[in-house]
């Protein structure tokens, strides 16, 4: 669900959203203070709530702005993705990490947002997560050589299976690393190396038995 907010001066909007991003990154949704956000942005609380009706709307707007930044950074320059699904996923994952490493606060905010979803926002965030997955599936399906799949395999279902399997593993590992950090902050370096898991999905876990 898109978050609607009233038109405002672009510079003022970005100042508020940047202040909110930093506050939400350090303190999470529940712990963030709109008083601190207005102080950091140099605006009154009346101005803040004139454009963003409540903290929930502000938070979801920050998420939307981060997603827009992420997709722009990801697609603004051509990506020479491999026709092999697993190599393409590795390349896409590396590109994502490069984008996030260039802006660690935005990475940390987005990682925590989708790892530990505030209950009040869970339905909205799950929809955004689903859209992210669908965008990735569409991108990969348009680039890979689908003739490599076994007969009877639906390419989009296969891509979705691989992506969701990786997402589950990444979520598990990053949640563990998040819990282990006393600061409660995440860095791009905490991202999981996906190659071993992609190899398992590509080749399976059993040795091929010889035919009698």
To the nearest 10°, the Cα dihedral for 157, 162, 164, 165? Answer: 140
Q: 158: which 2 tokens?
A: 């296969």
Cα dist from 138 to 118, 153, 163, 173, 201, whole Å: 28, 17, 12, 26, 20
Question: Which of left, alpha, beta for 44 (phi over 0: left; psi -120 to 50: alpha)?
Answer: beta
Written out in words, the top-level CATH class of the domain with range 1-65 is mainly alpha
Per-residue pLDDT of the chain (212 residues; tens, 9 = 90+): 445 445 556 688 899 999 999 999 999 999 999 999 999 999 999 999 988 999 999 999 999 999 988 888 777 777 788 999 999 988 888 887 788 778 888 988 988 898 889 999 999 999 999 988 888 888 889 889 998 888 899 999 999 999 888 888 777 776 666 555 555 555 555 556 777 888 888 888 776 565 54
Indicate the domain borders of the chain: 1-65, 78-212
Cβ-Cβ contacts under 8 Å for 160 (sequence gap 6 or more): 133, 137
């Amino acid at each position: 669900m898109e978050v609607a907010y009233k038109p405002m001066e672009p510079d003022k909007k970005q100042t508020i959203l940047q202040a909110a991003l930093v506050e939400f990154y350090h303190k999470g949704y529940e712990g963030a203070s709109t008083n601190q956000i207005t102080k950091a942005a140099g605006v009154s609380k009346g101005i803040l709530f004139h454009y963003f009706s409540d903290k929930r709307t502000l938070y979801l707007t920050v998420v939307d702005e981060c997603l827009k930044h992420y997709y722009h950074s990801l697609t603004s320059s051509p990506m020479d993705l491999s026709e092999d699904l697993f190599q393409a996923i590795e390349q896409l994952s590396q590109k994502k990490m490069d984008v996030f490493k260039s802006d660690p606060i935005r990475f940390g905010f987005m990682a925590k947002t989708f790892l530990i979803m505030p209950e009040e926002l869970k339905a909205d965030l799950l929809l955004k997560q689903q859209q992210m997955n669908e965008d990735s599936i569409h991108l990969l399906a348009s680039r890979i050589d689908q003739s490599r799949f076994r007969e009877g395999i639906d390419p989009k279902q296969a891509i979705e299976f691989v992506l969701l399997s990786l997402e589950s593993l990444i979520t598990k590992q990053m949640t563990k690393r998040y819990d282990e950090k006393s600061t409660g902050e995440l860095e791009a370096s905490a991202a999981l190396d996906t190659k071993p898991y992609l190899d398992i999905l590509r080749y399976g876990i059993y040795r091929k038995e010889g035919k009698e």
